[in-house]
Amino acid sequence: MTTLTLLFVLPLLVIFSYLFDSIARKTKFPSVILLMLTGIAFRLGAHTYGFEDFTFIDDLIPVLGTIGLILIVLEGALELEISKKKLPIILKGFLSALIILLLNIICLSYVLQWLLSMSLNESVIYAIPLSIISSAVAIPSAANLLKKEKEFVVYESTFSDILGIMMFNYVISQIDGNQPIVSSASLLALLLQIIGVIVISVMITYVLYRLLQNITHNVKFFLILSLLILVYAIGKFFHLPALVTIFIFGIFMSNVNSLLPDFLKKYLQLEQTEKSLHEFHILTAESTFIVRTFFFLFFGFSVVLSDFNTAAPFIYGIIIFVTMLLIRYFYLGITSLNLKPSTLVYMSPRGLISILLFLQIKELDFIDYQNIAIDERVLLVVILVSMLIMIKGAMSKTKPTNLATDNLNDTDQRGDLPDGSNAHSVNENEKR
């Protein structure tokens, strides 16, 4: 393509993405599906006009995915409000993310071994990416839910992202070192490693926060983002859960007033940095939008429709998703003491992180990727089915338009939440 062609195409893609987001807000139809379909359409158009060399896409997708992952976790952490009254819903979201993730991995690994005769190590590695909820898709899709349901989706999907990636890296390191996946020694080492990373992350967060306060140059937010990406890269080089650092930094930035004790607040100029924090949040959201746009466009562009020449990917994908949906239904039903499917049962889409981890699997020396039936085709089916099911959940309940309706609907929906509590008791002052 010529420079002039790119100058036409790239801005149009961003405009399309913005329009897709607007459509998604009104129709509850996920914008990422529209982005992937647009990428597929561009692939067909390029093929029609004789463009066949797309190898640069294979190198670009992992880079965009990694940057998108960092930005998504950072944006999700910036959205989280930490306070004493929020602790119950935070705990519910964490336990739901952890337990459902573990159950999915265990059950899917058995399904893959039974269905495709995969080894235990291979089945576990493939089960983890399929089990992770995409916060990049779930959080925007929950915008019209009841307040407490929306908060639950935010906490659960954010924790699912972080826990899933940590489990994936842990399993790979264990298998690569010829160690058993689960052992007391390895789990203890992982726990100590996480504690050490948390301590280091707190120190890095404090340094970055002071840096954000003291920089007088007009360009400072991209410097902070660059330093965070560098910290993540260093952590990945040493096989450390560096995503924890990103998460802690975002939590600290959005909750510095509630997390810091009073005697430390006097050393930080909190009032002067409040505007900067708001601007940093906006920059992070817009950067995430751009990276997410091109990631899903390029992922759709990498899909070759002629590869879907058998029914196997569709069968495997549906079996995998139904297994995970049943696990989620029973967990939320048991914890809420209500077996009637709630809106939250359907809010478990797969997306960017699943794609990114699948791309990492292709680079593993001990995985015979070419001879395993679970590939990008199956992943695409799981992603699309999970998003279509999520549309049902998002459209089945909309956000009340006034306080009276809010209280009435919350009372009628008692038991919908995993903790069985009433949403009308929640403070109406919502922080985003």
Lowest mean pLDDT among 152-156, 194-198, 275-279: 275-279
Q: Is a pLDDT exceeding 70 seen at residue 415?
A: no
Q: What's the pLDDT at 81?
A: 76
In a domain, 140, yes or no: yes
In a domain, 179, yes or no: yes
Q: Is a pLDDT exceeding 70 seen at residue 377?
A: yes
Distance of CA 252 to the CA centre of its chain: 19
Q: Which domain holds residue 384?
A: 60-423
Written in H, E and C, the secondary structure of the chain is CCHHHHHHHHHHHHHHHHHHHHHHHHHCCCHHHHHHHHHHHHHHHHHHCCCCCCHHHHHHHHHHHHHHHHHHHHHHHHHCCCCHHHHHHHHHHHHHHHHHHHHHHHHHHHHHHHHHCCCHHHHHHHHHHHHCCCHHHHHHHCCCCCHHHHHHHHHHHHHHHHHHHHHHHHHHHHHHCCCCCCCHHHHHHHHHHHHHHHHHHHHHHHHHHHHHHHCCCCCCHHHHHHHHHHHHHHHHHCCCCCHHHHHHHHHHHHHHHHHCCHHHHCCCCHHHHHHHHHHHHHHHHHHHHHHHHHHHHHHHHHCCHHHCCCCHHHHHHHHHHHHHHHHHHHHHHHHHCCCCCCHHHHCCCCCHHHHHHHHHHCCCCCCCHHHCCCCHHHHHHHHHHHHHHHHHHHHHCCCCCCHHHHHHHHHHCCCCCCCCCCHHHCCCCCCC
Q: What's the pLDDT at 50?
A: 66
Q: Is a pLDDT exceeding 60 seen at residue 406?
A: no
Q: What's the pLDDT at 409?
A: 43
More confident residue, 409 or 278: 278
Q: What's the pLDDT at 385?
A: 92
In a domain, 117, yes or no: yes
Are 112 and 118 in contact by the 8 Å Cβ rule? The answer is yes
Tens of pLDDT, residue by residue over 126-143, are: 999 999 998 878 877 777
pLDDT band of 24, cuts 50, 70, 90: confident
In a domain, 195, yes or no: yes
Q: What value does the CA radius of gyration of the chain take, rounded to a whole number of Å?
A: 22
Count Cβ atoms below 10 Å from residue 293 Cβ, excluding itself: 23
More confident residue, 140 or 347: 347
Tens of pLDDT, residue by residue over 208-234, are: 877 777 777 777 788 888 888 888 888
Lowest mean pLDDT among 18-22, 163-167, 381-385: 18-22
- Dihedral sign of CA atoms 276, 277, 280, 282 in order: negative
Q: What's the pLDDT at 425?
A: 41
Q: What's the pLDDT at 111?
A: 93
Are 104 and 313 in contact by the 8 Å Cβ rule? The answer is no
In a domain, 36, yes or no: no
Q: Is a pLDDT exceeding 50 seen at residue 268?
A: yes
Residues constituting the chain:
432
Kindly state the average pLDDT of the residues 33-52: 79
Tens of pLDDT, residue by residue over 74-109, are: 887 887 777 778 888 889 999 999 999 999 999 999
Tens of pLDDT, residue by residue over 239-267, are: 777 778 888 888 887 777 777 666 566 66
Count Cβ atoms below 10 Å from residue 66 Cβ, excluding itself: 19
Average pLDDT over the chain, rounded to an integer: 79
Tens of pLDDT, residue by residue over 64-76, are: 888 888 888 888 7
Q: What's the pLDDT at 328?
A: 94
Q: Is a pLDDT exceeding 60 seen at residue 362?
A: yes
Count: domains in the chain? 1
Lowest mean pLDDT among 118-122, 248-252, 269-273: 269-273
Tens of pLDDT, residue by residue over 145-188, are: 788 888 888 889 888 988 898 889 889 888 888 888 888 888 88
Q: What's the pLDDT at 381?
A: 92
Return d(Cα 432, Cα 429) in angstroms, integer: 10
In a domain, 8, yes or no: no
In a domain, 301, yes or no: yes
Domain holding 123: CATH number?
1.20.1530
| Percent of the chain topping pLDDT 90 | 14
Kindly state the average pLDDT of the residues 371-380: 86
What single-letter amino acid sits at 117? S
Half-sphere CA count of 274, side-chain side, radius 13 A: 4
Q: Is a pLDDT exceeding 70 seen at residue 399?
A: no
In a domain, 343, yes or no: yes
pLDDT band of 29, cuts 50, 70, 90: confident
171 — phi, psi (to 5°)? -65, -40
Kindly state the average pLDDT of the residues 303-312: 83
304 — phi, psi (to 5°)? -105, 110
